[in-house]
Amino acid sequence: MLPSVTFLDLETTGATPLKDRITEIALVRFDHGVETARWQTLVNPQQPIPPFIQSLTGINDGMVAEAPTFAEVADTLLAFLEGTVLAAHNVRFDHGFLKTEFKRIGITLRQKVLCTVKLSRLLYPQHYSHGIDAIVARHQITGLARHRAMGDVEAILVMLNDARRELGEEAVKAAALKLMSAPTLPPHIDASLVGELPEAPGVYLFYGENDLPLYIGKSVNLRARVLSHFSSDHASTKEMRMTQEMKRFEWIATAGEFSALLLESRLVKERQPIYNRQLRRERSLCSWQIDPAAQPLVRLVHEDEIDPSQMSHLFGTFRSKRQAVETLRKIAELSHLCVKALGLEPGRSGPCFAFQLRRCKGVCCGQESPEMHALRVQQALMAHKLKVWPYRGKIGIEEYDLEHDLRQIHVFEHWVYLGVAEDDESLNALRAQTTALKFDLDSYKLLLKMLAHKKTRVLDLAD
């Protein structure tokens, strides 16, 4: 399939590499299609194994009490992995645990990897599920120790043997090479740094010759998104020019997509990267405010005048005065509102031009009461009404990345983003913050969208 590939599986005390540990390692190595090594060992995790994991894997505290620690088997494992591709089912999980364990003993693991879940999807696209249990059922595999490391490795080997017989060796090889292929990196980009990119949410920054970023982006899969920039099939000349100018990059992992969106929005505004034209462009945000006792009935409120705690009479978020006026004219025409009363036509007395065309009900000439007209204006603008803050005070939106044990709580008050907390101290500081609130349209829209999801975890920070 590949010149050298090592199929590996781990059993662990849980799903989080930063706090859980490995309890068993099993691997089978192939060089030029011939099995050259087979190894397995229990590993002392140096912490208790949870009862649920014990019942799932059959590995208990007594079995690993006299087993070697990871540090004691690390050199042996590195020898098996040298010069080979690491293949595992959901390789992100196993590779993440190995990198974390090696890091604890001062070793940086850099390994080419192949995900056999993705390989199964390529080879058997007609099937919906590609987990180990589905593969065992699909290929009628019996006699294996399921949820033990070597048993799971052997299930994958049976699947690949069946694929060679059913689809041919070349089809299996082509699928593996397709998964292994990566865009050609510019010579000045550190390939080892690319190898460290996580398949996790976050924000990435591209730099040129200085410390001002060329571009800031976000993704739910940093590795896939960053590598896509180096593809020869660029979507635009701007993309090609940007990657040619780029000399280095960095990234910031986040707890989820919402965290990445907020961080991207903030960094773009602060750093003003030249290729983020849409997010960084200057704008004059404004909204219509209704005052039934005023003349004209509505007035344009600019962004710096918006009080986030008093949004019940604000309608629309417009990028310019021109856009706001054009929208109000269309609404007036559709709802037969008076353009003179709205301040869209000069003059205070006499019927407006729309009344002469029978497109106004006559508040401008006494045929409709001002109260009724004001009510109709509010009804016509209702679709554009800004949302009133539905909470008693500050709230937190929590995201948690189980795999990397990263918890972030984003604090808001009256739609204004106050900041992110990753521990109790920073959360308490944000709860006590009393700075003036400044409305930001991007934060408002992001929070609105997040609150629409039923699974969003909202923390009441008012007390």
Which pLDDT tens digit goes with each residue over 356-409?
A: 888 899 998 889 999 999 999 999 999 999 999 999 999 999 999 887 788 999
Rounded-to-integer distance, Cα 253 and Cα 96, Å? 14
Contact present, 204 and 217 (Cβ < 8 Å) = yes
The letter for the amino acid at 350 is: G
Q: Which residues contact 174 (CB under 8 A, 6 or more apart)?
A: none
Q: Which residues contact 141 (CB under 8 A, 6 or more apart)?
A: 135, 155, 158, 159
pLDDT digits (tens, 9 = 90+) for 337-357: 999 999 998 876 789 888 988
For residue 410 the two structure tokens come to: 């984003």
- Catalogue the E-assigned strands of 132-265: 202-207, 213-219, 248-253
Count the helices and strands in the chain (H runs, E runs). 18, 15
Q: What is the mean pLDDT of residues 214-236?
A: 81
pLDDT digits (tens, 9 = 90+) for 87-136: 999 888 899 899 999 999 999 888 889 999 999 999 999 999 999 999 99
Average pLDDT, the chain: 90
Question: Residue 338: helix, strand or coil by DSSP?
Answer: coil
Rounded-to-integer distance, Cα 268 and Cα 271, Å? 5
- CB burial class (10 A; 0-12, 13-18, 19+) of residue 452? exposed
Identify the band that residue 336 occupies on the pLDDT scale cut at 50, 70 and 90. Answer: very high
Which DSSP string corresponds to 343-368? TSSS-SSS--HHHHTT-S-SGGGTSS
Residue 54, pLDDT score = 95
Identify the band that residue 231 occupies on the pLDDT scale cut at 50, 70 and 90. Answer: low
Residue 283, pLDDT score = 57
Which DSSP string corresponds to 135-185? HHHHTT--S--TTSHHHHHHHHHHHHHHHHHHH-HHHHHHHHHHHH--PPP
Q: What are phi and psi of 395, to 5 degrees?
A: -130, 165
Does residue 6 have a pLDDT over 70? yes
Contact present, 256 and 269 (Cβ < 8 Å) = no
Number of Cβ within a 10 Å radius of residue 458 = 13
Does residue 1 have a pLDDT over 80? no
CA angle 206, 211, 215 (to 5 degrees): 25
The terminus-to-terminus CA distance of the chain in angstroms comes to 61
Residue 312, pLDDT score = 82
Percent of the chain surpassing pLDDT 70: 95
Does residue 64 have a pLDDT over 80? yes
Q: Which residues contact 295 (CB under 8 A, 6 or more apart)?
A: 341, 348
Question: Residue 82: helix, strand or coil by DSSP?
Answer: coil
Rounded-to-integer distance, Cα 398 and Cα 272, Å? 28
pLDDT digits (tens, 9 = 90+) for 260-308: 999 999 999 899 898 887 654 445 688 999 887 888 889 999 888 888 8
Rounded-to-integer distance, Cα 66 and Cα 260, Å? 44
